[in-house]
Amino acid sequence: MNPRIAFIAAPLLTLAYGVIRILDGLDGSRGPGLAWTTGHLAFIAAMGLFVYVFWQMRRMAGGNALSTVIAVIATAGALALATQFTIDVVAGLLSVDNLSMSLLTREIRDTPGVTLAAYDIGPYLFYVGQFALVVQLAVMRRIKVWTPFLVLCDLIMPNIDKDLIPLGAILLLVSFASISHRATSAASRPAPSATESIPTLV
């Protein structure tokens, strides 16, 4: 996959989820229904692309131990969020109204370990890992110095008001578009040949 596609599509799918979420709530409640399912599937797809992005960032950082650990943390967070949204999709498909959906979701969350992994701790690994990767790249001067600020704004906005998710996604799109240029250059850089990588003895 061209790295630029993932860097652009991930925030766009997050933006789509944010917009659909707002539209779904115009009648006073969210889900179940087509909007609920479509929005959540868009977000799950975004998580898959974010995982690809994280490992591209690791590659941009040189693939060292620190970037690898951070990428693993961020990936674990993306999987936790994907699990949370998958639960929402399943609950929506199996429910006839918002109340029954909420009750089913609560029942699933009561499964030992689910709340801790998919709600209380897991998702925060996504935010911490993503920000740490961007900061590392900025410190290494692999990306623009203002990029971590935009990423941080995107991460903070849903905690202020979830209706700000589309605005945060736009900021993330700007920052990721900038990163994608560097990622594409790194991906297209030819690997050293065998004769270049082996020192001569004469």
192 — pLDDT class (breaks 50, 70, 90): very low
Asked if 49 and 176 count as a contact pair (C-beta separation under 8 A), the reply is no
Query: What is the tens place of the pLDDT at every residue in 153-181?
Result: 999 999 899 999 999 999 999 999 999 98
Question: Token pair of 165, please?
Answer: 């998710």
Across all residues in the chain, what is the average pLDDT?
91
Residue with tokens 């006839």: 96
**Helical (H) or strand (E) element with 90:** helix 65-93
Question: Token pair of 16, please?
Answer: 């789509």
Q: In this predicted model, which residue has the larger pLDDT, 98 or 183?
A: 98
pTM (global) more than 0.75: yes
Q: Which residues of 1-28 are buried (b: 16+ CB within 10 A; e: fewer)?
A: eebbebbbbbbbbbbbbbebbbebeeee
Mean pLDDT in residue range 63-70: 97
Decide if pLDDT at 193 tops 80. Answer: no
